Amino acid sequence: MARQYYEIKVRHEGLNKYRHIRGQEQSIVNQKARAQKAQWDEQWRRVYERYSLNRPMEGWKAEAARRTVDAQAALRDADNILGTSLSVHEAVDWDALKDHSNFPVPKPAAPLLQNLVPEPTKEDPEHQVKLNLIDQLFSSHRERKIADAEARFQLALSNWDRTVKELMAQNAENARRHRKEVEDWERQKNAFEKAQAEANAVVDGLQERYGSGDVEAIEEYCDLVLSNSFYPEWCPKNFGLRFNPEDRMLILDFDLPMPDDLPALKEVKYIESSDVLEEVYLEEAEKGRIYDKLVRDICLRNLHELFEADAAGHIDAITFNGWVDLTHEATGSRERDCIVSVQTTRERFLSMTLSSVGSEACFQALSGAGSGEFHTLTSVVPLRYLDKDNGRFIGAI
């Protein structure tokens, strides 16, 4: 029976980024979507801070210095794509995938019950008969005052009885509503905790299946590893992968940025004589060298992250295929070309010390397919194809 897959389309309008997230477990897909959105939101915050027009008036000279600092930081990000991942522990933190949050809705507070007013008595000052000398001399006066006092007392007693009944009814209604609110709250809380437990059980199940070598779990695990990897906002992070249990080979298709996607601003100068800002961009040759290094670094970074994260040792080898989307100048048609393909075993790759050996030397040691001058976007035949339709693995001809 074919396994059900869940899909979420995630988009960020500000960054103009889109990703189609697909997986076997809905809770894991949702978690990856939230993680992707959080990454994009952080990238957008940095972009907004960098280019916000709501900055205080610093003067053109200070503005030029600030933009130069930002430009140099962006170039350092491009240069350090590989280095940033070498100090990070890549293995999936299973516990971090779980939802440990408390039910966010507070328990309804108990109502404030209305205090009952004391019952009036004839000993209360306002109900006592106050007789003067005339009342003492004339019985009719005395009896009328006594009768009036009794009438006032009976009226007060009647009003008290009605008020007490109203307060008791209001208290009873408030208590009833509170019980209903608590019942609803407990039902929602139980549903939340049940869904939370089920989602966390999915994580436990995925961890167990990954540990036992389940093919789909291994692919899901690798997807999580790469999804958690943070790249600059100008770098796409779209990929597809398959694991072949027969030779324990993981095949990864990874979308590479285009040369024009890279940051090219090198410096911003303030020209005092003309009171203008002048932007200084990288030379084409320098841009080409940066792009060539970036492609090698992305390739090595993915190999490093996947091998390093595979704590169970299921993956013996990886084929990395780097792809770009081109527009044919003559016809305007879209083309998708592979410009780099590397295949290596775990043992061979982990024997290299990436932190002390340059990416160019590492790449050459792996005998990857590619012109080396990747900025020319020269296509190569992948060392091994990934068939996304049915998951079959087709060797390059």
For every residue of 148-209, DSSP letters joined together read HHHHHHHHHHHHHHHHHHHHHHHHHHHHHHHHHHHHHHHHHHHHHHHHHHHHHHHHHHHHHH
Residues 174 and 84 occupy one common structural domain: no
Residues 309 and 264 occupy one common structural domain: yes
Residues 386 and 259 occupy one common structural domain: yes
Residue 50 reports pLDDT greater than 60: no
User: How many CB atoms neighbour CB 61 within 10 A?
Assistant: 12
Asked whether 85 and 308 are in contact (CB, 8 A), the reply is: no
Residue 251 reports pLDDT greater than 80: yes
Domain count of the fold of the chain? 3
Residues 219 and 263 occupy one common structural domain: no
What is the rounded average pLDDT for all residues in the chain?
81
pLDDT cut 90: percent of the chain above it: 28
Asked whether 267 and 69 are in contact (CB, 8 A), the reply is: no
Query: Domain boundary residue among 226, 256, 284?
Result: 226
Query: Domain boundary residue among 188, 204, 226?
Result: 226
pLDDT cut 70: percent of the chain above it: 82
pLDDT of residue 141: 66
Residues 258 and 388 occupy one common structural domain: yes
Residue 33 reports pLDDT greater than 90: no
pLDDT of residue 395: 40
Confidence band, pLDDT 50/70/90 cuts, at residue 204: very high
Residues 173 and 289 occupy one common structural domain: no
Domain housing 282: 55-89+229-397
pLDDT of residue 57: 46
User: How many CB atoms neighbour CB 351 within 10 A?
Assistant: 9
Residue 246 reports pLDDT greater than 50: yes
Residues 192 and 63 occupy one common structural domain: no
pLDDT (average), residues 280-309: 90
Interhelix angle 284-309/215-227, nearest 10 degrees: 140
Residues 233 and 371 occupy one common structural domain: yes
Residues 311 and 234 occupy one common structural domain: yes
Residues 292 and 331 occupy one common structural domain: yes
Asked whether 387 and 325 are in contact (CB, 8 A), the reply is: no
Least confident stretch, 10-24, 60-74, 106-120:
10-24
Query: Domain boundary residue among 165, 198, 226?
Result: 226
Residues 219 and 331 occupy one common structural domain: no
Residues 332 and 348 occupy one common structural domain: yes
